[in-house]
Chains A and B, each alone.
Chain A
Amino acid sequence: MFEARLLNGSLWKKIIESIKDVVEDANWECSGSGISLQGMDSSHVALVSLHLKSDAFDPYRCDRNISLGLSSTNLSKILKCSSNDDSVIIRTSEASDNVSFIFESSNSEKVSQFDLKLMNIDSEHLGIPDMEYDSIVKMPSNEFQRICRDLSLLGESVQIACTKDGVQFTSSGSIGSGKISLRPNITAENLDDTVNIELNEAVLLTFALRYLNFFTKATSLAPRVILSFKTEHPLVVEYQIQDIGYLKFYLAPKIEDDDTKQTTTPD
């Protein structure tokens, strides 16, 4: 038996909307510690790692570890049937092929139940090593979303440079180029508006804006975003979901190479 009730049901909607562009089908791993999900996009460039603590749910009952194979698209369709102030109960049993989503209105006058058929999804769990990052930037999540959106008007990739002076986002394409610089700002009135840079070493990395724009759909989940950089390693874009969990995105860097394109006609 598995049952988890989340009072703030709209959180589910936000989470699913944040990940569904990256991960189509994924196994939701339910255990005593909470609900986790890990999945990669089809091209293996981006990875989603989500964890929601069991404390986030009331009640939370997980008799045995269970894996729920679900399509993000179908899950999104079902969750759109809930109202923002509904509480959401997820319920299934080990013998069942279905998982039930029960939406309860805040005044308990309306209860809706949707059953989704479970899928058998072959997945590979990736071991993500702990590492020390060269640079960690903490900034307002909406600012990061804006930067990614604006620069994607110019090019497909963004070059991110972290130095002691700040962080610089650069993109260029056929119509021109753009450069957005943020200086560390720890004096802002609102703590959420500050830009903190922890710098061990300066980094210069390039990433696909297409994926960053997918990731920033999670902006509504957290006021702050944490960007962790390490030279020639994936970028981590992390959103802390209140104090109940996190949503992390990993994005492989684009490596510059000097492969030249040469054309010859064979003899």
Chain B
Amino acid sequence: MCGRCVIMRDGGAIRRRCAHYPYKSSCTADTASDSSHCLPRWYQEGESSYQPSYNVCPRDNLPVLLSSDHPHACDGEGPEDRILQMMQWGLVPSWHKGAAKDFAYLLNNCRSESLFDKASFRNAFTRGHRCVVPVDGFYEWKLIAGKKYPQYIQSVDNDSMLMLAGIFDIHRQTPDSNPLYTVTLITTEAHPVFSEVHHRMPAVLQGAQQVADWLDFRRVTDKQAYSIIIPTTGLTWYAVGNSVNNVYYKGEDCVLPRKAEPVKEKSKGITLDTFFKKTPVKRKLEDSRTLKRVKDESKNES
């Protein structure tokens, strides 16, 4: 599973990291550093509401990259073919009736195996609600000797962001109420290399083409898109301190390598059974019941 992530760059940097080759003739490459790329546009007030965080948790809002061909994104504000939109982490399906906060499940992850099976995900996925969550890294808890230790996982290329495949949905409590955009991250079986950390991992899209295919819901079918979701490599990780365990703590030190803990010299008691061999000796007495009673009584007295 993937339950915490890091998005530490500012809004402008995220835009630049999400630069892509335009496929709409209307999309111009005016602001991209590479003149052949174009940058996604922040949707509505997205950039102003975005806050970098070293500990993004489910129910937090995070920036999500999606095609501007989605009906809600066609607000006529710009010609770009992708937008960055703030969404709440944890899918609330559109079919849920009532307030979003009353939805009983926290769907921050979606198993790729159940994309077509579970109603919560199937509706969104088959309607093309595919999106990408650009993150600097994510946390996973590694089980070591019965205890969980947080690990920070990032791309082997330190400067690049991980493009995590997700699906989003739009929930309205009533037809007239404001829409709530929510997102869930798709997970796959862990790649053998990653399996030492955890048995599941988020679906990381590799390269611009995979991102483009995943986002282009008009051209790329569900099944084609589904085939992109495979366990991937290209990740590196290290143990971090326990501060990330606190969902309210968003500080920079969440990603700092775990300090070697002072070795406490602890005396371990060992028993004589380690040194001496046992030979059972049982004494049989004729009326053991009486004697046992005597023993019990004498214990009570003492």
Contact = CB atoms under 8 A, between A and B. Distances in A.
Partners in one complex: yes
Interface residues of A, number: 49
B282 to A, nearest CB: 6
A74 B264 CA distance: 43
B242 interface: yes
> What is the interface residue range for chain B against chain A?
35 or more
B285 A118 contact: yes
Given A46-B272, A256-B268, A73 B302 contact: yes
A264 B245 contact: yes
A73 B297 CA distance: 13
Contact of B291 (A47, A118, A123): A118
A27 B270 CA distance: 25
A256 to B, nearest CB: 5
Contacts of A119: 291, 294-295, 298
Which label, helix, strand, loop or mixed, suits the secondary structure of the B interface?
mixed
A256 B141 CA distance: 30
B77 interface: no
A187 interface: no
Interface string B261-279: 1111111111111111111
Contacts of B276: 47, 126-129, 250
B72 interface: no
Interface stretch (A2-10, A37-45, A141-149, A195-203): A37-45
A211 B269 CA distance: 13
A174 interface: no
Interface string B3-34: 11000000000000000000000000000000
A197 to B, nearest CB: 23
A204 to B, nearest CB: 13
Contacts of A250: 272, 276
Contacts of A120: 283-285, 288, 291-292, 295
A44 to B, nearest CB: 4
Contacts of A74: 298, 302
A110 interface: no
A262 B149 contact: yes
A262 B277 CA distance: 35
A140 interface: no
A101 B292 CA distance: 21
Contacts of B140: 267
A218 to B, nearest CB: 18
Interface of B: 1, 3-4, 139-141, 147-150, 242, 245-246, 261-285, 287-288, 290-292, 294-295, 298-299, 302
Closest 5 CB pairs of A and B: A265-B245, A126-B276, A44-B271, A254-B267, A267-B141
Given A27-B281, A252-B271, 14 more contacts: A44-B271, A45-B272, A71-B295, A97-B290, A118-B285, A126-B278, A127-B276, A250-B276, A253-B270, A262-B147, A264-B150, A264-B245, A265-B242, A267-B245
Interface of A: 25, 27, 40, 43-47, 67, 69, 71, 73-74, 97, 117-129, 157, 206, 208, 233-234, 250, 252-267
21 contacts: A27-B283, A40-B272, A44-B272, A46-B272, A71-B299, A97-B285, A127-B276, A127-B277, A129-B275, A157-B267, A234-B272, A234-B275, A250-B272, A254-B268, A260-B264, A264-B141, A264-B148, A264-B149, A265-B245, A265-B246, A267-B139
